[in-house]
Structure 1
């Protein structure tokens, strides 16, 4: 799946103004048609007042470092990236399988608190739809993932309690959404797996006759004394 950025959709303000003007015009035509008794004008104006709000459903607002993956009837249509006021196909839906996944990382705690506090205040279909759309946005900022500590045996069989902190960000939104089931959970599991593989290669403290580089020569590599060397390797 290759990411396709939609750069020609930043015309939300134009669509908003035109749709509002047409809606006001339909109201005026409806009044005039009723006054002069013209059923054609009356029918056209009433029809537009019933369906004229539909373009509003395609308006999207993005803040800096946010993205929105859009699908049309299950087919990937593109990604909105960068701040701006966008107008897209009203039938397009936003997709983010990790929207409700909250890990011990930056951004997730504040997002869940905001959604829980707003859920008791907002009422009505349009407001709920706007809140749902906001939750489907993908953050492009650098995130800090701090996984919980786990007990792992080092290369000598000694149990070690160790955690991991990872700085990461989404680069390709289409791969993050469609290539894995949940990219946040995938990242967390991959970090735990990599951490276990690293700890099993090194001793916690410097031990004699231990080869940590794989060259057949004993060295002084250890988790406690040479963490920078371990990270570089």
Structure 2
């Protein structure tokens, strides 16, 4: 993982990354009170124009100017919402304080959500480690951690996330085989937790430059492509049959060996090599047969 992070850092070495910092803003409730006072002053000045113009006109102008200055500076932030503050294109910080906020009107405000986002990617076709075409779709839970990087270091951070998810899924999908019946390799189908953790680390490394982290991810769809699905199904069935037969034969051999050893140890019956071979053959047929066997009772001697 350290190598992956280093390669990503080297890849973007020429890019100057932004860094979020706190913005200097004010509570909107205090400025709301100031605006209400300005309205009262302007209204009082209006009532005094006909009687004492030298007082009424200045009060009206003062109230109107204060109202016009204060009113455009209001904005509101909900929980898990932030606003990036800029001044003539220069980043001045990020406000994460919820509620009614106020800043000098000539400052720009760009709101963005820092809540968790859940995305299910489209199904994409990838060649696994053995070259077999497979279909993969992933579910990713991501959120913005650095608003400055998300807004100013990438053009559209949401589109950036979608592209990087597809690239990471292709990388992880081609790194492992789809399945390994002998369970000797890490596979996409058999090691969901391990592969999902590696996919998360791959995404975190890719999305770090956009100020985005990944909380959870995993595959929602994983299957062979349609053109080879039938052949792979038959292959899996054949491998399953062979493995089942192998286990059955190993168990049957152990049972036959145990039966012969106990018969000899307890002197139940003495068998020559020919009769021993016949007994082994009969026991193997009984234990390994796919259908129930029909016993035949020998009413004569063992050698008839």
| Structure 2 CA distance for partners of 1:68 and 1:37, relative to 1, 3 Å | closer
Work out the CA distance in 1 between the residues paired with 2:69 and 2:123. 50
Work out the CA distance in 2 between the residues paired with 1:27 and 1:152. 71
Work out the CA distance in 1 between the residues paired with 2:50 and 2:93. 45
Which of 17, 20, 32 is matched with 1:3 structurally?
20
Q: Is the 8 A contact 1:10 1:84 kept in 2?
A: no
Looking at both structures, which has the greater relative contact order when contacts are Cα pairs under 8 Å and sequence separation is at least 6?
1
Q: Larger C-alpha radius of gyration, 1 or 2? A: 2
Give runs of aligned pairs for residues 54-133 of structure 1, distance below 5 A.
54-95=69-110
Q: Is the 8 A contact 1:30 1:46 kept in 2?
A: no
Matched, 1:21 2:37: yes
Cα deviation, 1:165-209, whole Å, max 9, x if unaligned, reads 11111111111111111111111111111110111111111167x
Work out the CA distance in 2 between the residues paired with 1:92 and 1:149. 43
Q: Is the 8 A contact 1:3 1:172 kept in 2?
A: yes
SS at structure 2 position matched to 1:30: helix
Give runs of aligned pairs for residues 180-195 of structure 1, distance below 5 A.
180-195=154-169
SS at structure 1 position matched to 2:25: coil
Q: Which has the higher helix share?
A: 2
Q: TM-score, normalised by structure 2?
A: 0.55
SS at structure 1 position matched to 2:123: strand
Give the gaps of 5 or more residues in structure 1.
96-136, 209-217
Work out the CA distance in 2 between the residues paired with 1:37 and 1:57. 29
Q: Which residue of 1 aligns with 2:114?
A: 140
SS at structure 2 position matched to 1:29: helix
Work out the CA distance in 1 between the residues paired with 2:145 and 2:97. 13
Q: Is the 8 A contact 2:75 2:101 kept in 1?
A: yes
Q: TM-score, normalised by structure 1?
A: 0.71
- RMSD (Å) for aligned C-alpha atoms: 2.1
Give the gaps of 5 or more residues in structure 2.
1-17, 199-304
Which of 168, 186, 191 is matched with 1:226 structurally?
191
What number of residue pairs does the alignment pair up? 181
Work out the CA distance in 1 between the residues paired with 2:64 and 2:196. 63
Q: Is the 8 A contact 1:27 1:49 kept in 2?
A: no
Q: Is the 8 A contact 2:43 2:60 kept in 1?
A: yes
Q: Which residue of 2 aligns with 1:33?
A: 49
Q: Which residue of 2 aligns with 1:198?
A: 172
Work out the CA distance in 2 between the residues paired with 1:52 and 1:10. 16
Q: Is the 8 A contact 1:62 1:82 kept in 2?
A: yes
Work out the CA distance in 2 between the residues paired with 1:41 and 1:220. 87
